[in-house]
């Protein structure tokens, strides 16, 4: 059975500063949206798996965000926490249409 996806508008590309996260709430989900210095946009769960730090407030370097609470390094591409720490956050596919950013969420 194929999973249907909803495209949810979250921002205009031009309104997303590079290397700074943006918190977006979609229903019960809180997402962190990042535009990297290479122009790619990623959406991840906005809570660090360690102590729940707000990832949108973290420092961005390359394709990673550093949790502002305890400096855990998390990939914004695949959500994996980097060694020596362990864990992951959920990632969400993103679509860009006419300069607008949409997050693709499973249809309930």
Q: What are the residue ranges spanned by the domains of the chain?
A: 5-106
Q: Give the pLDDT score at 106.
A: 78
pTM: 0.90
pLDDT tens, 27-67? Answer: 889 999 999 999 999 999 999 999 889 999 999 999 999 99
Residue that is written with structure tokens 């965000």 in the block: 65
pLDDT surpassing 50 at residue 86? yes
∠ CA(47), CA(10), CA(69), 5° rounding?
A: 20
3-state secondary structure of 57: helix
Residues 6+ apart with CB under 8 A from 3: 106, 107
Match domain 5-106 to its CATH number in 3.30.1320.10, 3.40.640.10, 3.40.50.1100, 2.102.10.10.
2.102.10.10
Q: Is the pLDDT of residue 4 over 70?
A: no
Q: What's residue 108's pLDDT?
A: 61
């Amino acid at each position: 059975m194929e999973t249907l996806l909803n495209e949810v508008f979250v921002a205009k590309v031009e309104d997303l500063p590079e290397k700074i996260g943006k918190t977006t709430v979609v229903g019960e989900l809180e997402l962190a949206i990042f535009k990297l210095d290479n122009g790619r946009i990623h959406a991840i769960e906005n809570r660090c798996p360690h102590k729940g730090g707000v990832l949108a407030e973290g420092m961005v370097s390359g394709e990673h965000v550093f949790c502002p609470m305890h400096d855990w390094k998390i990939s914004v591409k695949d959500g994996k926490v980097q060694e020596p720490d362990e864990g992951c956050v959920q990632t969400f596919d993103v679509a860009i249409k006419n300069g607008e950013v949409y997050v693709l969420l499973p249809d309930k």
